[in-house]
Amino acid sequence: MSSFFTQRNLTIAMFIGIGLGVALGFGAQWAQIPALFRIIDSISFLGELFLALLQMVVVPLVLFSVTTGVANLHGGREVGRKLGKTVAYFFGTSFVAVLIGIFVTNLAGPGRGLDPEVLYAQLPEDVVEAAQARQDQVALAAPQTLNEFLEVQINNLFMNPFRSLAEMNLVGVVMFSLLLGFMIMLLGEAGKPARDLFNALNKVMMKMVSIVIWFAPVGIFALSANLLSSIGPDIIAPLLKYVLTVAFGLGIQFLVVFPLIIFFICRYNPLRFVYRVKDALLLALASASSAATLPVTLRAVEEEVGVDKDSANLVVPMGATVNMNGTALYEAVAAIFVAQLIGIPMDLGTQFILFFTATLAAIGTAGIPQGGLVTMVIVFTALGIPLEFIALLIVVDRPVDHLRTMVNVCGDAVGSLFLSTSEKKFIAK
Ligand code: ASP
């Protein structure tokens, strides 16, 4: 029984789900057969159910994964300094990644060019209603002063954690989780029961996600059939452009940003680095899971590159949990893409919100295949983008997932080199 639930079968099931959904949706639309529309109508609750499941798991997942990542650090004198450097590296590279994502998407405009009116005519009614409600809301919202803005941010950051959890306020959840993890770490031996509990709960949530994700093929089937039954062929070109835009952005992070860090900050040869960690990169590319790649990444940086054990053990496991440069970039591209598509204005303020939510959502992403799709809910919710559009992204998410995971893992490996060289513990192999 359990042997059926393999990653390979899931991928196959996803493809079947997408294939059937696309066929049913397009078939209904092109042939205009009323019976097909009725079928699509009657199964559309399955799509809603899948979205509801995603929303159910995402917040506890972030809470447990971030808390665990920090709680598992070992205390000691150097830990503050090392942790500071590591966190600075994680945030620095994630910010750069999101900026690249925002920049290339604004430049390439994969979702532009379609008249929203034309698009609306090609979308299901509920999606159109949600998109228009959001537009009205944007039009009504009074501009905030900087002071007001800061007040809101402070209130979000230090919100009562139960309220943060209930309202899906990720900033608050991450802040609380970081503090919680940090306190557990500070307690040392006395914190062991709490650490064990969170480790176990984290495993439980991962398990829940891995089960929920098995519902994806059915959910995707219903969502894509519903979406495509009213989507015209005009949408295909923008989708391809979207994939290319993500790939291009990831390419910049992988081929420009990381090599610059490796060369100028770590004083190491970027080509040699990539060659030495190639096993981890290839496994990431093949598995689309940073977590599954973790043991190989650890081995590669320690034994092939020469990163000291302490640095590797600090950065790589935490990185596989919270440092997802590729995912951050992808979430920014995806959000702007859909906003462009349906004509949600992305003014500077909104892009600013995107900048932070994409970074934080990536932090909360589980290092598993399509973990990023789960946290996309947060980015879309923050920007008021109808969640139904996740279905559109799912259609092309597989190739995007594999590429972004490779960038995620590379970021962890570079981070360990960064810490090792800056601590003067690096002995090149
Ligand atoms: N698959 C990615 C990873 O494991 C997460 C994501 O879906 O973005 O790193």
Q: Which of 84-88, 106-110, 247-251 has the highest mean pLDDT?
A: 247-251
Domain residues for the domain of 109 are 2-422
* Domain CATH for 380: 1.10.3860
Q: Is residue 40 part of a domain?
A: yes
Q: Is residue 177 part of a domain?
A: yes
Give the pLDDT band (50/70/90) at residue 274: very high
User: Which DSSP state fits 303?
Assistant: I
Contact 50, 222 (CB under 8 A): yes
Contact 376, 361 (CB under 8 A): yes
Ligand 1 shell residues, CB under 6 Å:
288-290, 324, 327, 365, 367-372, 401, 404-405, 408
Nearest atom in ligand 1 to 368's CA: 4
- In the predicted model, what is the mean pLDDT of residues 321-326? 90
Mean pLDDT of the residues in the chain:
83
| Prediction pTM value | 0.74
**Residue 10 has which token pair?**
């899931």
Over pLDDT 90: what percentage of the chain?
Answer: 31
Q: Residue 11 C-alpha to ligand 1 middle, in angstroms?
A: 14
Which of 408, 409, 410 gets mutated to test ligand 1 (max ligand atoms within 8 A of its CB)?
408
Q: Is residue 38 part of a domain?
A: yes
Q: Is the predicted pLDDT of residue 141 greater than 50, yes or no? A: no
Which of 90, 254, 287, 290 gets mutated to test ligand 1 (max ligand atoms within 8 A of its CB)?
290
- In the predicted model, what is the mean pLDDT of residues 126-151? 54
Which of 294, 405, 407, 412 gets mutated to test ligand 1 (max ligand atoms within 8 A of its CB)?
405
d(CA 357, CA 89): 18
d(CA 127, CA 120): 8
Q: Is residue 80 part of a domain?
A: yes
Q: What is the radius of gyration, based on Cα positions, of the chain?
A: 22
- In the predicted model, what is the mean pLDDT of residues 295-315? 86
Nearest atom in ligand 1 to 369's CA: 1
Within 300-396, residue ranges assigned H as helices are 309-322, 325-342, 348-363, 371-383, 390-395
Contact 224, 38 (CB under 8 A): no
Q: Is the predicted pLDDT of residue 202 greater than 80, yes or no? A: yes
How much is the pLDDT for 140? 47
Q: Which of 125-134, 155-164, 383-392 has the highest mean pLDDT?
A: 155-164
User: Which of 321, 26, 314 lies closest to 177, judged by CA?
Assistant: 321
Q: Is residue 429 part of a domain?
A: no
Q: Residue 288 C-alpha to ligand 1 middle, in angstroms?
A: 6
Q: Residue 246 C-alpha to ligand 1 middle, in angstroms?
A: 14
pLDDT in tens, 166-197: 987 767 887 898 899 889 988 989 999 999 99
- In the predicted model, what is the mean pLDDT of residues 298-317? 86
Q: Is residue 427 part of a domain?
A: no
How much is the pLDDT for 147? 65
Which of 368, 398, 407 gets mutated to test ligand 1 (max ligand atoms within 8 A of its CB)?
368
| pLDDT greater at residue 249 or residue 76 | 249
Q: Rounded to 5, what percent of the chain is helix, strand, coil?
A: 85, 0, 15
Q: Residue 324 C-alpha to ligand 1 middle, in angstroms?
A: 7
Nearest atom in ligand 1 to 371's CA: 7
Which of 90, 289, 321, 379 gets mutated to test ligand 1 (max ligand atoms within 8 A of its CB)?
289
Q: Is the predicted pLDDT of residue 330 greater than 90, yes or no? A: yes
List the residue whose alpha carbon is closest to atom 1 of ligand 1: 369
105: amino acid identity, one letter? T
Asked which of 21-35, 107-121, 335-349, 377-391 is least confident by mean pLDDT, the reply is: 107-121
How much is the pLDDT for 295? 77
How much is the pLDDT for 344? 83
Q: What are phi and psi of 187, to 5 degrees?
A: -70, -15
Q: Residue 187 C-alpha to ligand 1 middle, in angstroms?
A: 31
How much is the pLDDT for 385? 85
Nearest atom in ligand 1 to 288's CA: 1
Task: Please give the C-alpha separations between residue 63 and each of 60, 153, 170, 187, in angstroms, as whole numbers.
Answer: 5, 19, 9, 19
How much is the pLDDT for 123? 63
Q: Residue 368 C-alpha to ligand 1 middle, in angstroms?
A: 5
Q: Residue 7 C-alpha to ligand 1 middle, in angstroms?
A: 14
List the residue whose alpha carbon is closest to atom 8 of ligand 1: 372
- In the predicted model, what is the mean pLDDT of residues 86-93? 94
Q: Is residue 401 part of a domain?
A: yes
Q: Residue 264 C-alpha to ligand 1 middle, in angstroms?
A: 28
Number of domains in the chain: 1
Q: Is residue 428 part of a domain?
A: no
Q: Residue 329 C-alpha to ligand 1 middle, in angstroms?
A: 12
